[in-house]
Chains A and B, each alone.
Chain A
Amino acid sequence: MVPLLKADGLTRRFDGLAILNGVSLEVAEGQCIGLVGENGCGKTSLLNVLSGVDRPDRGQIQYAPENGQMADITRWPAWRRARAGLLHYFQSPHIWRNLTVAEHVLAAATGCMLEGSVLGAARWSLSSSLRRSTRAKCEKLLDFVGLRGRANAKACELSFGQMKLVGLARLLAAPVRRMLLLDEPTAGIAPEVVVRMIEFLRKVRASGVGMLVVEHDREMLSGLADAVLELRQGRVVGFGEVA
């Protein structure tokens, strides 16, 4: 299997307390690893360090961007990692309260250097084909999460579950998707949508995207993950294949 993300000896301390203590792991292309453990064991902290939201005190993170070899990304800022396809889905929805549902997906769908810049804005205004193709992609994603009917609603007017779905659509709209860090993706979402979400994530994984999923729902994990990694007090205490 081709390695996609590799962490080696990650340590993170807060006020002298080791939240992560020498965590090492490896995720390959198309592999999904479930991350389990009690509350406070360091699962979310690990995802934060891997996505660049937080910096490790010690250790190294390597990642293989699209058409690239493994590179040391420990010092890359979070936005650069996201542009390279290393995407973080947060536990809380983190919506943009003044933007509509459609605008959430649109903002994420156009993340590259030129399109996201003020110069790219001029190209956007002038190119109707660019606008059409991007909007079609966004509508497809909104269809998937079942929010097309609420495309023009402000995200802050939605229920908690719908906000999480907006976050998922936003994540999946990213131009480059190589590795997903999913922090309790199904929490607060209706069961019928969870089933569709698992199906969709399976398809995404089949396309070669790697995943690291924090999830308390063991049933969900068994339907998606290839292996499970257990954390306890910031250390890896177990790793096993899913039967």
Chain B
Amino acid sequence: MNFLWNALILINIYALLCLGNNLTVGYAGLLNLATAASFAIGSYTTALIMTRLGMGLPMAIGGAILVSLVLALVIGSATLRYRRTSFALASLAFQVLVLAVIRNTEVFGGTLGIKGIPRPAWIGTGSGSLLAFWLLTAVILVAVILGYLGLRRSPWALALQASRDDELAAVSVGKNVPWIRVEAFLVSSVIIAVAGGLFASYIQYIDPTSFGVDESILLLLALVCGGTCNTRGPVLGAVFVIALPEWLRFLDVSAPYAANIRSIVFGILVILLMRYRPQGLAGRYALD
């Protein structure tokens, strides 16, 4: 039973990651290869606030959101004027930079990471604690989805999609395209920081291996498979990321092999989808 709750909690956390990434990749049309870096910023900030300052999860996540917003504002302002390819490369550089800092800085625990991150006391430690943690992640996921549903037909979301489809036309009707993109990046960073905070508190131990370039690519592939520009696609992508290796366990495939098989399946699926269903399994926007 614990195995099932574990998968369901991770699905909720990864759904948050994909929903956050959906704003930059789907709505703004920018290939973001630094999702794992933003995820790491949220996770590490939460972990440090909880372990060093002894604060609770809500305060720690609040701190993670603040740090993410500041960094996103700096990075976004510097990179979101770039065209698509340049932005993808800049985001990749940011991903590598963040990981290098984490690996080589003592306060982040270097390659050993940070241990002993507590779960909130009110969640408890008994048999119901996983259900309680799942409920916590589910409430946050539902709140984010409701926010998304409110935003999706707003002039802001339309302007974001307009700037993605034809930047010149968006500018010609008064859309400040670089700033709209920075806003999308900020909102995206907040959602990803929250996911990072929940992840750190749930796993209770984080190290750089969870936030590498391969994780960013996996999250991007999950989004591409599920689909972009709505809420169904990113959630479906998250289900794939988590459920596939878990399902492989039933076939007696060991965890490292399961991760490799997941990558192979994702690779094949993305190639097939690009050919036959470029908008993903449940998406609205076909990536070009």
Tell me how far the C-beta of B162 lies from the nearest C-beta in chain A, rounded to whole angstroms: 5
The DSSP consensus for interface residues of chain B is: helix
* Given known A-B contacts A79-B176, A82-B174, A107-B159, A121 and B150 have beta carbons under 8 A apart: yes
Residue of A nearest to B23 (CB): A118
Tell me how far the C-beta of B163 lies from the nearest C-beta in chain A, rounded to whole angstroms: 9
Number of interface residues of B (CB under 8 A): 32
Tell me how far the C-beta of B152 lies from the nearest C-beta in chain A, rounded to whole angstroms: 9
Tell me how far the C-beta of A82 lies from the nearest C-beta in chain B, rounded to whole angstroms: 4
Tell me how far the C-beta of A137 lies from the nearest C-beta in chain B, rounded to whole angstroms: 13
Tell me how far the C-beta of A209 lies from the nearest C-beta in chain B, rounded to whole angstroms: 16
Digitize A28-66: 1 where CB-to-B-CB distance is under 8 Å, 0 elsewhere: 000000000000000000000001110000000000000
Number of interface residues of A (CB under 8 A): 41
What's the count of A-B pairs with C-beta under 8 Å?
A: 115
Q: Are B180 and A94 in contact (CB under 8 A)?
A: no
Residue of B nearest to A130 (CB): B155
CA distance A111 to B170 in the complex (A): 10
> Quick one: which of A80, A90, A118, A174 contacts B169, CB cutoff 8 A?
A90
Q: Are A96 and B155 in contact (CB under 8 A)?
A: no
User: Does B187 interact with chain A (Cβ within 8 Å)?
Assistant: yes
Contacts of A106 in B (CB 8 A): 155, 158
User: Does B214 interact with chain A (Cβ within 8 Å)?
Assistant: no
Q: Are A94 and B154 in contact (CB under 8 A)?
A: no
Residue of A nearest to B157 (CB): A121
Residue of A nearest to B150 (CB): A125
Q: Are A78 and B166 in contact (CB under 8 A)?
A: no
* Given known A-B contacts A79-B176, A96-B162, A53 and B156 have beta carbons under 8 A apart: no
B contact set with A: CB distance below 8 Å = 150-151, 154-159, 161-162, 164-166, 168-177, 180, 183-184, 186-187, 229, 284-286
- Please provide the 10 A-B residue pairs with the shortest distance between their CB atoms, ordered closest to farther: A121-B154, A110-B155, A111-B174, A96-B165, A107-B158, A125-B150, A83-B174, A94-B169, A82-B174, A121-B156
